[in-house]
Amino acid sequence: MPGFELVDQAERQSVLDVFDKSNGVLFAHGFDVRRNNIFRVRDFEKKFAEKFKGRKAAACTSGTSAQYIAMKCMGIKEGDEVITQAFTFIATIEAILACGATPVVIDINDTYNMCPKKLEAAITSKTKLIVPVHMLGNPAEMDEINTVAKRHNIPVLEDACEALGASYKGKATGLLGDIGIFSLDFGKTITTGEGGMIISNKEELVTRCIKFIDHGHDSDPSLPRGKDTASFYGFNYRMMELQAAVGLVQIDKLDHIVEMNRKHKKILKAELAKYTGKISFRRITDENELADTIIFNLETPELADKVVQLLAKEGMGTKNVPDAMRWHFSKYFNQVWDNCGLYSNYGSQWKESDDLLSRSVSLPVMVNWNEGDLERMTTSLNKVFSAI
């Protein structure tokens, strides 16, 4: 997810402009004259929305806060159950708990995303939200998930933090459920350092999120801020102008990032395909996935370990699988389960996910790779797979 690879003079200049053209006004709101009426966070939201058929977007402080804001604005509360998947980033679980609700964590399938069959079985009268996560760029099976959700009249929040720029059956990830959230942290497709974005086909839901992000402010332009009205409550999850200054430049790089990811992944995957028999690829739900990662699995965890060690010798790292499973697989979220009294048997829970993930290896795909990099990788992969 390589927005950071492309940070250059343009982002630097955009940040300097906050000082040179807007007298250093860092708030997203107010100080209209002093800032020369330039509102970068609002402009960033509009520019981001252009990538999503002009749907309304709400900027906030992080992908984690975006999850929480979206859930609060959908009315998630104590006593509710929220279904999500075992392979995710821990933020998904944290946001559910922060609402006072109970996370119900189900297995993934060979897409490495939520298993729609397990979803149906996990629904109870308390289920109030379903949160599929498009892990490492591959969209979840949204048709099947939406069918189950509609049958039970339960809304869907897409965690698209790792899939900005992907699409599924012609529709952008983020607009496939009732609401979608993105992370703009430093590891993501485009970055603002820290940051998040919320998008929805339901404009009134995004409007509520915008209010929640800013203490409930209606932001009535005819009123001074101190006299502003409020129709919803909130907190402070506002993005700063400095972040939006970077985001305004990065969003223009998104199409290039996605194009290069897809090009490089195709080349690397064709190389890896030579070792079919030794490895199997993750099932991709749509060729217009984000394509910033390749996941494959081996027959046994021991073989996967060996491949990781051999890759390391060749100077090739992995991405999240297996190097950051501690934060991405619910089996390892002991700090959550122990403190919340949930899943007392978490060490042996989620067997199907565990079987798959323990045999899996994930390789990053970078935007700035050149022919030399790709040739070196081809040679290295050859060495690795000849040795197993």
CB of 178 to ligand PLP, least distance (A): 17
CB of 83 or CB of 133, closer to ligand PLP: 133
CB of 267 or CB of 324, closer to ligand PLP: 324
Residues in the chain: 388
CB of 178 or CB of 292, closer to ligand PLP: 292
Which amino acid is it at 314?
Answer: E
CB of 89 or CB of 350, closer to ligand PLP: 89
CB of 4 to ligand PLP, least distance (A): 13
C-alpha–C-alpha distance, residues 257 and 368, integer Å: 9
CB of 25 or CB of 91, closer to ligand PLP: 91
CB of 253 to ligand PLP, least distance (A): 18
CB of 342 to ligand PLP, least distance (A): 19
Question: Counting Cβ atoms within 10 Å, is residue 201 exposed (0-12), middle (13-18) or buried (19+)?
Answer: middle
CB atoms within 10 A of CB 377: 21
Query: Which residue is nearest to ligand PLP, using beta carbons?
Result: 63
CB of 258 to ligand PLP, least distance (A): 17
Beta strand extents in 56-201 (DSSP E only):
57-60, 81-85, 102-106, 127-131, 157-159, 167-168, 171-172, 179-183, 196-199
CB of 183 to ligand PLP, least distance (A): 3
* Three-state SS at 275: coil
Tell me the pairing of strands 167-168 and 171-172.
antiparallel
Element (H, E) at 383: helix 371-386
CB of 293 to ligand PLP, least distance (A): 11
C-alpha–C-alpha distance, residues 170 and 235, integer Å: 36
CB of 159 or CB of 292, closer to ligand PLP: 159
CB of 211 to ligand PLP, least distance (A): 21
**β-strand partners of 157:** 179
Buried b (16+ CB within 10 A) or exposed e, 217-249: bebeeeeeeeebeeebebeebbbbbbbbbbbbb
Residues that bind ligand PLP (CB under 6 A): 62-64, 88-89, 91-92, 133, 159, 161-162, 183, 185, 196
CB of 15 or CB of 90, closer to ligand PLP: 90
C-alpha–C-alpha distance, residues 297 and 295, integer Å: 7
CB of 375 to ligand PLP, least distance (A): 31
Contacting residues for 125 by C-beta, under 8 A, at least 6 apart:
none
CB of 133 or CB of 361, closer to ligand PLP: 133
Contacting residues for 133 by C-beta, under 8 A, at least 6 apart:
84, 85, 87, 88, 89, 92, 113, 114, 140, 159, 161, 162
Closest CA to 290 of 169, 133, 112, 168: 168
CB of 22 or CB of 138, closer to ligand PLP: 138
